[in-house]
A = this chain, B = another copy of it.
Amino acid sequence: MTAPGAGASGEDDLIARYFRPLATDPGAFGLVDDAALLKSSGDDLVVTTDAIVEGVHFLPDDPPGTIARKALRVNLSDLAAKGAAPAGFVLTLALREAKDEWLAPFARALGEDASAFGCPVLGGDTVSTPGPLMISITAFGRVPPGKMVRRAGARPGDRIAVTGTVGDAALGLRVLKGKIAGEGLDTSAREFLIQRYRVPQPRSALALAIRDHANAAMDVSDGLAGDLAKLCAASGVSAAIDLAAVPLSAAARVLVANRNADIETVVSGGDDYEVLCTVPENRWESFAAAARHANVDITSIGKVEAGTAAPRFLDATGQPITLKRLSYSHF
Chain A residues with a Cβ under 8 A of chain B: 1-2, 4-7, 9-14, 29, 32-53, 55-57, 78-79, 81-82, 84, 90-92, 94-95, 97-98, 122-132, 134, 136, 138, 140-141, 145, 148, 150-152, 218-219, 222-223, 225-234, 310-311, 326-331
Given known contacts A47-B38, A123-B49, A138-B138, A233 and B33 CB-to-CB distance under 8 angstroms: no
Q: Are B43 and A40 in contact (CB under 8 A)?
A: yes
| Residue contacts A-B, CB under 8 angstroms, 5 given | A32-B230, A50-B125, A53-B129, A130-B132, A131-B131
Q: Tell me the bound Cα distance from A162 to B155 in angstroms.
A: 56
Instruction: Name, among A81, A225, A234, the residue most crowded by chain B CB atoms within 10 Å (CB to CB).
Output: A234
Which residues of B are found within 8 Å of A94, using beta-carbon distances? 51, 53, 134, 136
Q: Are A127 and B51 in contact (CB under 8 A)?
A: yes
13 new A-B contacts, CB < 8 A, other than A32-B230, A50-B125, are: A4-B230, A7-B223, A7-B327, A10-B330, A11-B329, A14-B331, A33-B152, A33-B218, A34-B82, A37-B45, A51-B94, A131-B131, A136-B136
- Closest B-chain residue to A43, C-beta based? B40
Copies in the complex: 2
CB of A198, distance to nearest CB on chain B (Å): 18
CB of A4, distance to nearest CB on chain B (Å): 7
Given known contacts A92-B51, A125-B136, A127-B330, A232 and B36 CB-to-CB distance under 8 angstroms: no
Q: Are B125 and A329 in contact (CB under 8 A)?
A: no
Q: Are B326 and A128 in contact (CB under 8 A)?
A: no
Given known contacts A35-B48, A132-B130, A6 and B310 CB-to-CB distance under 8 angstroms: yes
- A124 touches which one: B46, B49, B226 (CB < 8 A)? B49
Which residues of B are found within 8 Å of A150, using beta-carbon distances? 29, 33
Q: Tell me the bound Cα distance from A112 to B228 in angstroms.
A: 34
Q: Which 3 A-B pairs have the closest CB atoms?
A: A131-B131, A5-B233, A7-B229
Given known contacts A33-B152, A45-B37, A222 and B145 CB-to-CB distance under 8 angstroms: no
Given known contacts A10-B330, A92-B51, A122-B47, A233 and B4 CB-to-CB distance under 8 angstroms: yes
Q: Are A37 and B44 in contact (CB under 8 A)?
A: yes
Q: Are A53 and B132 in contact (CB under 8 A)?
A: no
Q: Are B53 and A128 in contact (CB under 8 A)?
A: yes
Q: Tell me the bound Cα distance from A84 to B35 in angstroms.
A: 10
- Closest B-chain residue to A1, C-beta based? B49
Which residues of B are found within 8 Å of A6, using beta-carbon distances? 229-230, 232-233, 310-311, 326
Given known contacts A32-B151, A34-B78, A34-B219, A7 and B225 CB-to-CB distance under 8 angstroms: yes
Given known contacts A45-B40, A125-B136, A230 and B327 CB-to-CB distance under 8 angstroms: no
